[in-house]
Every structure is written in C-alpha cells, then in structure tokens.
Structure 1
C-alpha cells in the first residue's frame, strides 16, 4: 500500500498523471524546465518588439512555479511565469504600445480574449490573449499614474500551461 502522492511505483505515477489530466482537462506535457523558461522569455521579447516602444524594462527572467491545481507541493508539475514591465519610455507612447499589440497579436496567431478596462478603481486598460497552439497566456496592463508617486508603465505577464518535469528532475531546482 502506498501513501497518497507516493512515487514508489510506475502505477502511482500513472495515477498522478491521470489525476492531473482530469483536473486540468489536458495531459501535461513532459518538458525540460530550461526549455520552457527559454520559450516564455522568447515570447516576452517578441511582445516587447510588437509594442514598438523603447524604454526601461525590468530585468527578472522567467521562472518555474508550482502548478497549484495539481501539485501544490511543487514536486513534479510546474508552470513558467514571466512578469515584467516597461516604463520611462524614450520612444513611442503607452497608447501606441497597446494599439500595436491589438493589431499584432492576432496577426501572430494570438487570440485576444479581453480588451477593456480592468476591474479596479482606476479601470486601467488591459489586454488578455492566448496562443491557441502553445496555450501560453499573456496579460498586458497599462497602469496610468492615477495616484501621486505612481509611474506610468505597461505591466506584462506571460504564463505557460502546466508541464510535468522529466523523471528525476525537481522542478523547484529548475
């Protein structure tokens, strides 16, 4: 008899995969963590190019995080997330950046699922899109300086779907 979540046999691994597939509605692909991070970083670079603005960009790179729905202990399943922003524009405007994304995302195969105000007090503009082939999601928010001390910026969040780390790889160390 095995403890819940035990990986001592291929049967329990198969059960965990079936459970994950049932919860997520798809079978999580086995993907090398570095490759998944590179893919998300590449998407982020393209999104910045599509905005056609130049300014300061936050530095952090994509990172693996727990796939909360199926692996809250972060032992086998993971998502890749890359939050970043562009601010202090030296070329272009924030309005242009959003308009460029509205035009370019569909041309590049992305489906815009939301284009309107955020559900916040400031109701800043937000674009949410999904890439139907890879299932990456993109959330772009134009945060206007409505309050003193707040810089105007465009916040971008690129996310992957859940993946399964290769056997023997701890996603936390990836």
Structure 2
C-alpha cells in the first residue's frame, strides 16, 4: 500500500511539473502559473471536477471512470499560506478496448471547439509509444494531460487536470487535501 501511495504521489508531482510548464501563462510569459482568481480550496476543487466532467462528456464513449478526488498543491514561488492550485487525476476504462480506437483524434478535434488549445500531441517516449495530449484552456485557467494506454492488459485513458494559481480570500486559509 505504501508503495502504491508513493508511486501515486510521484505521478502527481511529475504530472503537475509537466503541466505547469505548459503554455498556460499570464501575459508576461514568465513561465509562472496564471492567476485563476480568488477562491477557497473547496470551491476550486469543485471547479476542477466540473472541468474534468466537461472533458468526460467530450470523450463520447461509455466506461468506468475512477472515483478520485481533487488535491491541493502549492504554487511554485508563492506564499503557500495564500496561494494554491488544485489537481484532479482520474482514469477511464472503456466497456471494450475497441472503443478507444480513435478517441484521442476525436479529443484533438473536439477540445478546441470548447476553448482548449492543444499544445502537445503524439506518442510518448515509452516502449509502448502511448499517445498523449496536453491542452490549455485560457478562459478556465486549467490544463489537461491525457494519456492513452492502448497496450496495457486493460487499455484505458488517464487524465490529469490542473488549475492555475488561486489566492484564498482574505481571512481564509488554504485547506490541503
């Protein structure tokens, strides 16, 4: 169990580092996360889950989605008592592997119609050459990275949705979960 949790923590850390390095930046292009506004941790977690749900609706296939919760992390270089970002890792296992056949191409076409900018698309460097897609939504101040694991024993899609950097309202504190 400890190994699984450690692996999950490592995955989240790598995914957040990868995603926050995307083009979802403020106008100064300094490489820092864009401001996502003022929010409590709980409200921001509900928003990232809504963004995940919108992406799920675009997939267009039925399957079993994991029931994972959102998490809170620090905004690099900012006061961790005032600033935070949220992330939501989840996966989708289709009813049958054939359903995943053209899903990544469909997402590549559909996401831009809903305000997403595709910033990366293609095979990863693994021996399986898993297809990955990274997209930013400037209006929503969120990014998503999607992996299509076609060659696993159980083919699936994995998602990591992350927000920009929120500031807690005056008098509130960042709740970490």
- TM tier, smaller: 0.7 to 0.9
Structure scoring higher RCO (CA < 8 A, sep ≥ 6) equals 2
The structure with the largest alpha-carbon Rg is: 1
**Alignment-derived partner of residue 144 in structure 1:** 150
Aligned in 2, Cα 1:26/1:39: closer, same or farther, shift over 3 Å? Answer: closer
Aligned in 2, Cα 1:153/1:23: closer, same or farther, shift over 3 Å? Answer: closer
Q: State how many pairs are aligned.
A: 148
> How far has the Cα of 1:172 moved from its partner?
2.8
1:66 to 68, 74, 93: 74
Which runs of 5 or more residues in structure 2 are unaligned? 1-29
Q: Contact 1:66–1:78 at 8 Å: present in 2 too?
A: yes
Separation (CA, whole Å) in 2 of partners of 1:110 and 1:28: 16
**Alignment-derived partner of residue 166 in structure 1:** 169
1:42 to 30, 37, 50: 50
**Alignment-derived partner of residue 65 in structure 2:** 57
**Alignment-derived partner of residue 130 in structure 2:** 124
Aligned in 2, Cα 1:26/1:126: closer, same or farther, shift over 3 Å? Answer: closer
C-alpha offsets along residues 14-66 of structure 1, whole Å, 9 cap, x if unaligned? xxxxxxxx883755632222221121111111111100111111101222222
Aligned in 2, Cα 1:173/1:62: closer, same or farther, shift over 3 Å? Answer: closer
What SS does the aligned partner of 2:111 have? Answer: helix
Q: 83-92 vs 29-38, which deviates more?
A: 83-92
C-alpha offsets along residues 50-83 of structure 1, whole Å, 9 cap, x if unaligned? 0011111110122222223324xx4221111000
Per the normalisation by structure 1, the TM-score is 0.74
Q: Contact 2:38–2:167 at 8 Å: present in 1 too?
A: yes
Which runs of 5 or more residues in structure 1 are unaligned? 1-21
What SS does the aligned partner of 1:93 have? Answer: helix
Separation (CA, whole Å) in 2 of partners of 1:70 and 1:169: 16
Q: Contact 1:66–1:77 at 8 Å: present in 2 too?
A: yes
1:83 to 81, 89, 96: 89
Q: Contact 1:142–1:155 at 8 Å: present in 2 too?
A: yes
